[in-house]
Amino acid sequence: MKQEAVKNKKINVPPNFIRNIIIDDVKKGKHGGRVHTRFPPEPNGYLHIGHAKSICLNFGMAEEFNGLCNLRFDDTNPIKEEEEYIRSIQEDVRWLGFDWEDRLYFASDYFQQLYDWAVQLVGDGKAYVDDLSADEIREYRGTLTESGRESPYRNRSVEENMDLFQRMKAGEFKNGERVLRAKIDMSSGNLNMRDPVMYRILHAAHPRTGNEWCIYPMYDWAHGQSDSIEGITHSLCTLEFEDHRPLYNWFIEQLGVHAPQQIEFARLDLTHTILSKRKLLRLVREKLVDGWDDPRMPTISGLRRRGYTPESIRDFCERIGVAKSNSVVDISLLEHCLREDLNKRSPRVMAVLRPLKVIISNYPQAKVEDLEAENNPEDPTAGTRKIPFSREIFIEQDDFREDPPRKYFRLAPGREVRLKHAYIVKCEKVVKDGNTGEIRELHCTYDPGTRSGSAPDGRKVKGTLHWVSASHAIQAEIRLYDYLFIKADPNDVPDGMDFVFNINPNSLEIVQGMVEPGLADAGRGDRFQFLRNGYFCVDTKDSTRENLVFNRTVTLRDTWAKIEKKIS
């Protein structure tokens, strides 16, 4: 039995090329068989589902091979980085279920070491101070097809470079006046090797180091060396860094320090979603959404507020695999993982989104019955609860059709339907507004012999509706979320337009619904399945005891919607 479980676990974890490399390295005893990874976010925005892929990979590989995974902030650009992001990123990684223990690091922790190493390279004649302006450096760099030219300052003496670099650090020069560059090869086909900038002058306060520094290392100079300092064995990053790898290796080799192996994988892309930090920032800044944690955002905080579980996100990250081809994952896979998890764990509850009053004419005026309802058919241990039933109830407007289409087996004039956990009722009369013709209420009769829903005569009733007792139900604000972008590819826009063009105008619809009375005690963040509707959670920001607010996490699969679409 146990063996089977182990086997099943193995089967469920799809192999990927990174795991294969690590297995191989461990087998060969590389790095003493050690596995040490890191998740290295830049604190310039909130984490999103794409980062979750990287987090799961890095922490996952470490866990699988009894290794370690660090959390390291790549905070080398004080102009873009903020404390708020440092805070939120930690919260999100933790919420996803990962633990960096005492290994919280910052590239800025290594500024002094990085500087000392830079001095070493200057001393070795492998780095030089360049006085060219940014524009000139670009010109000298050449183009994709033409070789670059060497800077006139490239062959300064070690002494002069040393002096200038120290003065850069001392704050003698203004922003942009000079940079430190590695002396590599201006004719390389790889632009990253054409004397990359290592340090730029930035007279800006850093969230962590304050005004201690006015020169800041560039990514290429900081990242690999940080990896090395931390003893990272496998430095996993995304595809766009593939042609930085030669530079990554070059620095490590010049320094002769511990050499981590950089391995690149394809970043996640999702349909109906945008995962560019720049674009997400724009949605926030232009108030096209209600902040980073708007439930329509693909950010971890948005998904959390929407009602996603960390388990479902981790499952998703496992299922999409890890490879090197650029791909766009269908968001329905994410939703599938979500539903699968929520189905197992969510208590069922009845809530009517768009109420239609039903009067059960043959039910006694003042009578109230407490009916027993199971909390979760998927989980027998979830128990049961009592829900009140009375003469006047609300059902969903969608559950009644005056002129029902084919295959519709909900309520219609003269038809019978079962009320979940209650009785079979029959629609006797439709009451309409005299002026508008709008359906006001329904008059039904119930069959007292069908309590709990089954008929003693054995007659079959196809439809089962959810409902709430009108006088007992409580009102709640229900926020119905849909995709933020109408098109699978939000960037597919007419000439001159951008992704904002594809924002779904109906991504949020707010209704005042009626929910069963037991929900009065629901606390922020609690998740439920609203029977036949979907999964909902109590909003963590706006919900109060007096004014319950629910977010729709995801709908239930809706076979009827498909049938209806087909027959119409």
Partner RNA sequence: UGGGGUGUAGCCAAGUGGACAAAGGCACCGGGUUUUGGUCCCGGCAUUCGGAGGUUCGAAUCCUCCCACCCCAGCCA
Catalytic residues: 42, 267, 277
Binding residue for RNA, selected from 35, 52, 122, 218, defined by CB under 7 A: 218
Instruction: Using the rule CB under 7 A, give the single segment among 60-68, 71-79, 248-256, 289-297 that binds RNA.
Output: 71-79
What is the contact mask toward RNA in residues 149 to 178, using x (rule: CB under 7 A)? --------------------------xxxx
Question: Do 439 and 395 form a contact (C-beta atoms < 8 A)?
Answer: no
Alpha-carbon distance values, 476 to 154, 465, 479, 520 (Å): 70, 20, 10, 10
Residue 175 to residue 172: CA distance in whole angstroms: 10
Instruction: Using the rule CB under 7 A, give the single segment among 98-106, 149-157, 290-298, 333-341 that binds RNA.
Output: 333-341
Q: How far is the CB of 244 from RNA (least distance, A)?
A: 6
- Amino acid, single-letter form, for residue 506: N
* Residue 476, beta-bridge partner list: 513
Site for RNA in 75-104 (CB under 7 A): 76-77, 80
Structure tokens at 390: 């009375």
Instruction: Using the rule CB under 7 A, give the single segment among 50-58, 249-257, 340-348, 354-362 that binds RNA.
Output: 340-348
Q: How far is the CB of 547 from RNA (least distance, A)?
A: 26
Q: Of 281 and 333, which has the nearer Cβ to RNA?
A: 333
Residue 556 to residue 534: CA distance in whole angstroms: 4
Question: Do 67 and 31 form a contact (C-beta atoms < 8 A)?
Answer: no
Q: How far is the CB of 32 from RNA (least distance, A)?
A: 25
Residue 310 three-state SS:
helix
Q: How far is the CB of 239 from RNA (least distance, A)?
A: 6
φ, ψ for residue 482 (rounded to 5)?
Answer: -135, 180
Alpha helices in 286-365 (DSSP H): 300-306, 310-320, 331-345
CA gyration radius, the chain: 31
Site for RNA in 469-528 (CB under 7 A): none
Site for RNA in 273-332 (CB under 7 A): 319-330, 332
Q: How far is the CB of 465 from RNA (least distance, A)?
A: 7
Q: Of 34 and 430, which has the nearer Cβ to RNA?
A: 430
Residue 298 three-state SS:
coil
Question: Do 462 and 536 form a contact (C-beta atoms < 8 A)?
Answer: no
Q: Of 168 and 508, which has the nearer Cβ to RNA?
A: 168
Count helices and strands in the chain by DSSP H and E runs:
14, 25
Site for RNA in 367-396 (CB under 7 A): 376-378
DSSP 452: G
Binding residue for RNA, selected from 42, 91, 290, 441, defined by CB under 7 A: 42
Strands ordered across the beta sheet of 215-217: 127-130, 179-182, 197-201, 215-217
Residue 293 to residue 276: CA distance in whole angstroms: 15
Q: Of 372 and 547, which has the nearer Cβ to RNA?
A: 372
Q: Helix/strand/coil (H, E, C) string of 488-510?
A: CCCCCCCCCCCHHHHECCCCEEE
What is the contact mask toward RNA in residues 255 to 274, using x (rule: CB under 7 A)? -----------x--------
Q: Of 76 and 309, which has the nearer Cβ to RNA?
A: 76
Structure tokens at 250: 């070059």
Q: How far is the CB of 326 from RNA (least distance, A)?
A: 5
Residue 421 three-state SS:
coil
Site for RNA in 174-213 (CB under 7 A): 175-179, 189-192, 196-197, 200-202
Site for RNA in 226-255 (CB under 7 A): 239-244
Binding residue for RNA, selected from 87, 94, 138, 541, defined by CB under 7 A: 138
Q: Of 19 and 258, which has the nearer Cβ to RNA?
A: 19
End-to-end CA distance of the chain: 51
Count residues near RNA (CB under 7 A). 93
Site for RNA in 397-436 (CB under 7 A): 407-410, 418, 420-421
Q: How far is the CB of 255 from RNA (least distance, A)?
A: 19
Q: How far is the CB of 275 from RNA (least distance, A)?
A: 13
Q: 459: closest CA among 422, 400, 398, 416?
A: 416
Q: 107: closest CA among 80, 81, 73, 82?
A: 73
Q: Of 392 and 489, which has the nearer Cβ to RNA?
A: 489
Instruction: Using the rule CB under 7 A, give the single segment among 133-141, 250-258, 497-505, 517-525 that binds RNA.
Output: 133-141
Q: How far is the CB of 544 from RNA (least distance, A)?
A: 27
Q: Of 263 and 514, which has the nearer Cβ to RNA?
A: 263
Query: Which positions ≥6 away from 139 have C-beta within 8 Å?
Result: none
Binding residue for RNA, selected from 1, 5, 144, 366, defined by CB under 7 A: 144
Q: Of 381 and 436, which has the nearer Cβ to RNA?
A: 381
The length of the chain is 568
Binding residue for RNA, selected from 13, 134, 170, 497, defined by CB under 7 A: 134
